[in-house]
Amino acid sequence: MKEPLSMIKYFPELELVKDEALRQKVDEIWNDLWQESAFQRLEDLPVIPGMDYPHVRHNRSVLHHVMAAADNLEEFHGVKLDRDILICSVLLQDASKLVEFEPAPGGVHMSEKGRQFQHGFFGAAAAMKAGMPMEIVRNIITHTIDNPVYPPTVYSKIIFYADQIDMAGLKADTWQKKGVIFRDSPYE
Protein backbone atom coordinates (compact mmCIF):
# COMPACT_ATOMS: atom_id res chain seq x y z
CA MET A 1 0.00 0.00 0.00
CA LYS A 2 1.29 3.44 -0.92
CA GLU A 3 1.54 6.31 1.53
CA PRO A 4 -1.88 8.00 1.54
CA LEU A 5 -2.11 11.35 -0.21
CA SER A 6 -2.42 14.41 1.96
CA MET A 7 -5.20 16.20 0.14
CA ILE A 8 -4.72 19.41 2.09
CA LYS A 9 -1.08 19.50 1.03
CA TYR A 10 -1.91 19.22 -2.66
CA PHE A 11 -5.32 20.92 -2.66
CA PRO A 12 -5.48 23.42 0.23
CA GLU A 13 -8.80 24.66 -1.19
CA LEU A 14 -10.43 21.53 0.21
CA GLU A 15 -10.48 23.42 3.53
CA LEU A 16 -13.06 25.76 2.00
CA VAL A 17 -15.66 22.96 1.89
CA LYS A 18 -17.94 23.62 4.83
CA ASP A 19 -19.65 20.23 4.94
CA GLU A 20 -17.27 17.91 6.74
CA ALA A 21 -18.83 14.76 5.27
CA LEU A 22 -18.31 16.05 1.73
CA ARG A 23 -14.75 17.07 2.52
CA GLN A 24 -14.07 13.61 3.88
CA LYS A 25 -15.53 11.94 0.80
CA VAL A 26 -13.36 13.96 -1.57
CA ASP A 27 -10.34 12.81 0.41
CA GLU A 28 -11.47 9.17 0.39
CA ILE A 29 -12.24 9.13 -3.34
CA TRP A 30 -8.85 10.56 -4.23
CA ASN A 31 -7.10 8.16 -1.90
CA ASP A 32 -9.00 5.11 -3.16
CA LEU A 33 -8.05 5.97 -6.75
CA TRP A 34 -4.51 6.76 -5.59
CA GLN A 35 -4.14 3.21 -4.29
CA GLU A 36 -5.29 1.88 -7.68
CA SER A 37 -3.01 4.24 -9.56
CA ALA A 38 0.31 3.20 -11.11
CA PHE A 39 1.83 6.58 -10.20
CA GLN A 40 4.15 6.69 -7.22
CA ARG A 41 4.27 10.48 -6.92
CA LEU A 42 1.29 12.76 -7.50
CA GLU A 43 3.72 15.35 -8.88
CA ASP A 44 4.24 13.04 -11.87
CA LEU A 45 0.57 13.09 -12.90
CA PRO A 46 0.37 15.34 -15.97
CA VAL A 47 -2.54 17.37 -17.31
CA ILE A 48 -2.66 15.01 -20.27
CA PRO A 49 -0.27 12.36 -21.63
CA GLY A 50 2.42 13.98 -23.72
CA MET A 51 2.17 17.28 -21.86
CA ASP A 52 4.82 17.77 -19.22
CA TYR A 53 2.79 19.99 -16.92
CA PRO A 54 1.50 19.05 -13.47
CA HIS A 55 -2.13 18.14 -13.16
CA VAL A 56 -2.48 19.50 -9.61
CA ARG A 57 -1.54 23.04 -10.70
CA HIS A 58 -4.11 22.89 -13.54
CA ASN A 59 -6.81 21.49 -11.26
CA ARG A 60 -6.28 24.21 -8.65
CA SER A 61 -6.28 26.89 -11.32
CA VAL A 62 -9.60 25.60 -12.69
CA LEU A 63 -11.04 25.78 -9.19
CA HIS A 64 -9.96 29.38 -8.83
CA HIS A 65 -11.55 30.27 -12.21
CA VAL A 66 -14.76 28.58 -11.05
CA MET A 67 -14.86 30.40 -7.73
CA ALA A 68 -14.21 33.74 -9.44
CA ALA A 69 -17.11 33.08 -11.82
CA ALA A 70 -19.37 32.16 -8.89
CA ASP A 71 -18.35 35.39 -7.10
CA ASN A 72 -19.11 37.44 -10.22
CA LEU A 73 -22.52 35.83 -10.76
CA GLU A 74 -23.42 36.60 -7.16
CA GLU A 75 -22.09 40.18 -7.21
CA PHE A 76 -23.60 41.22 -10.53
CA HIS A 77 -26.76 39.09 -10.78
CA GLY A 78 -27.50 37.91 -7.26
CA VAL A 79 -27.10 34.29 -8.39
CA LYS A 80 -26.11 32.25 -5.35
CA LEU A 81 -24.34 28.98 -6.00
CA ASP A 82 -23.51 26.29 -3.48
CA ARG A 83 -19.73 26.57 -3.09
CA ASP A 84 -19.40 23.14 -1.52
CA ILE A 85 -20.92 21.61 -4.64
CA LEU A 86 -18.62 23.62 -6.89
CA ILE A 87 -15.43 22.92 -4.94
CA CYS A 88 -16.08 19.20 -4.53
CA SER A 89 -17.02 18.84 -8.20
CA VAL A 90 -13.85 20.53 -9.43
CA LEU A 91 -11.61 18.67 -7.00
CA LEU A 92 -13.09 15.39 -8.22
CA GLN A 93 -13.52 16.08 -11.93
CA ASP A 94 -10.08 14.78 -12.81
CA ALA A 95 -9.40 12.30 -10.01
CA SER A 96 -9.94 9.61 -12.64
CA LYS A 97 -6.65 10.62 -14.27
CA LEU A 98 -4.97 8.59 -11.53
CA VAL A 99 -6.18 5.43 -13.26
CA GLU A 100 -6.72 6.72 -16.81
CA PHE A 101 -3.02 7.50 -17.19
CA GLU A 102 0.03 5.47 -16.24
CA PRO A 103 3.77 6.00 -16.26
CA ALA A 104 5.46 4.26 -19.16
CA PRO A 105 8.89 4.23 -20.76
CA GLY A 106 9.32 7.56 -22.49
CA GLY A 107 6.48 9.32 -20.72
CA VAL A 108 2.93 8.94 -19.47
CA HIS A 109 0.45 6.89 -21.51
CA MET A 110 -3.26 6.18 -21.42
CA SER A 111 -3.94 3.07 -19.38
CA GLU A 112 -6.22 0.26 -20.49
CA LYS A 113 -8.97 1.77 -18.30
CA GLY A 114 -8.35 5.17 -19.81
CA ARG A 115 -8.76 3.78 -23.31
CA GLN A 116 -11.91 1.85 -22.45
CA PHE A 117 -13.95 4.60 -20.79
CA GLN A 118 -14.54 8.30 -21.25
CA HIS A 119 -12.52 10.77 -19.19
CA GLY A 120 -14.10 11.33 -15.79
CA PHE A 121 -15.94 8.02 -15.66
CA PHE A 122 -13.94 6.50 -12.82
CA GLY A 123 -14.17 9.65 -10.71
CA ALA A 124 -17.92 9.88 -11.25
CA ALA A 125 -18.36 6.18 -10.45
CA ALA A 126 -16.31 6.56 -7.26
CA ALA A 127 -18.30 9.66 -6.28
CA MET A 128 -21.57 7.82 -6.82
CA LYS A 129 -20.33 4.84 -4.81
CA ALA A 130 -19.26 7.19 -2.00
CA GLY A 131 -22.76 8.65 -1.86
CA MET A 132 -21.86 12.07 -3.23
CA PRO A 133 -24.83 14.26 -4.26
CA MET A 134 -25.96 13.54 -7.84
CA GLU A 135 -25.19 17.14 -8.82
CA ILE A 136 -21.52 16.47 -8.09
CA VAL A 137 -21.55 13.15 -9.94
CA ARG A 138 -23.11 14.87 -12.94
CA ASN A 139 -20.64 17.75 -12.84
CA ILE A 140 -17.78 15.27 -12.93
CA ILE A 141 -19.09 13.32 -15.90
CA THR A 142 -20.17 16.38 -17.94
CA HIS A 143 -17.01 18.45 -17.38
CA THR A 144 -15.33 16.91 -20.40
CA ILE A 145 -16.00 17.15 -24.09
CA ASP A 146 -15.75 13.35 -24.08
CA ASN A 147 -19.26 13.29 -22.64
CA PRO A 148 -22.00 13.33 -25.31
CA VAL A 149 -24.35 15.42 -23.19
CA TYR A 150 -23.70 19.14 -23.04
CA PRO A 151 -23.40 20.41 -19.44
CA PRO A 152 -27.02 21.11 -18.45
CA THR A 153 -26.81 23.34 -15.36
CA VAL A 154 -25.09 26.59 -14.41
CA TYR A 155 -22.78 24.57 -12.15
CA SER A 156 -21.72 22.18 -14.87
CA LYS A 157 -21.40 24.93 -17.48
CA ILE A 158 -19.10 27.04 -15.28
CA ILE A 159 -16.90 24.02 -14.64
CA PHE A 160 -16.84 22.97 -18.28
CA TYR A 161 -15.87 26.43 -19.53
CA ALA A 162 -13.41 27.12 -16.71
CA ASP A 163 -11.61 23.89 -17.51
CA GLN A 164 -11.30 24.85 -21.16
CA ILE A 165 -10.23 28.40 -20.29
CA ASP A 166 -7.40 26.94 -18.27
CA MET A 167 -6.45 24.53 -21.04
CA ALA A 168 -6.45 27.43 -23.50
CA GLY A 169 -4.13 29.30 -21.13
CA LEU A 170 -1.84 26.29 -21.26
CA LYS A 171 -2.19 26.21 -25.08
CA ALA A 172 -3.63 22.73 -24.80
CA ASP A 173 -7.36 23.15 -25.38
CA THR A 174 -8.86 20.60 -27.72
CA TRP A 175 -12.27 22.05 -28.50
CA GLN A 176 -13.72 21.07 -31.81
CA LYS A 177 -17.34 21.98 -32.27
CA LYS A 178 -17.87 19.12 -34.66
CA GLY A 179 -17.03 16.74 -31.80
CA VAL A 180 -20.06 17.76 -29.72
CA ILE A 181 -23.38 15.99 -30.05
CA PHE A 182 -26.10 18.52 -29.40
CA ARG A 183 -29.39 17.09 -28.26
CA ASP A 184 -31.98 17.68 -25.58
CA SER A 185 -30.63 16.93 -22.15
CA PRO A 186 -32.08 13.83 -20.50
CA TYR A 187 -31.30 15.39 -17.13
CA GLU A 188 -33.95 18.08 -17.03
CB 13, min distance to Fe ion, A: 17
Instruction: Give pairs for 33-36: CB < 8 Å, separation 24+.
Output: 33/95, 33/96, 33/98, 33/99, 33/122, 33/123, 33/126, 34/2, 34/4, 34/5, 34/98, 35/1, 35/2, 36/98, 36/99
Q: Specify the residue, 19 or 152, whose C-beta has the smaller distance to Fe ion.
A: 152
83 and 90 Cβ atoms separated by less than 8 Å:
no
Q: Are strands 101-104 and 107-110 parallel, antiparallel or unpaired?
A: antiparallel
Q: Specify the residue, 27 or 94, whose C-beta has the smaller distance to Fe ion.
A: 94
Q: Specify the residue, 76 or 101, whose C-beta has the smaller distance to Fe ion.
A: 101
Q: Which amino acid would we find at residue 43? A: E
CB 44, min distance to Fe ion, A: 17
CB 132, min distance to Fe ion, A: 17
CB 144, min distance to Fe ion, A: 5
CB 94, min distance to Fe ion, A: 4
122 and 140 Cβ atoms separated by less than 8 Å:
no
Q: Specify the residue, 17 or 91, whose C-beta has the smaller distance to Fe ion.
A: 91
Q: What are the b/e assignments for 41-68, b being 16+ CB within 10 Å?
A: ebeebbbbbebeebbeebbbbbbebbbe
Dist. CA 111–CA 122, nearest whole Å: 12
Residues at the interface with Fe ion (CB under 5 A): 94
Q: Specify the residue, 70 or 160, whose C-beta has the smaller distance to Fe ion.
A: 160
Dist. CA 102–CA 20, nearest whole Å: 31
Q: Specify the residue, 19 or 146, whose C-beta has the smaller distance to Fe ion.
A: 146
CB 167, min distance to Fe ion, A: 9
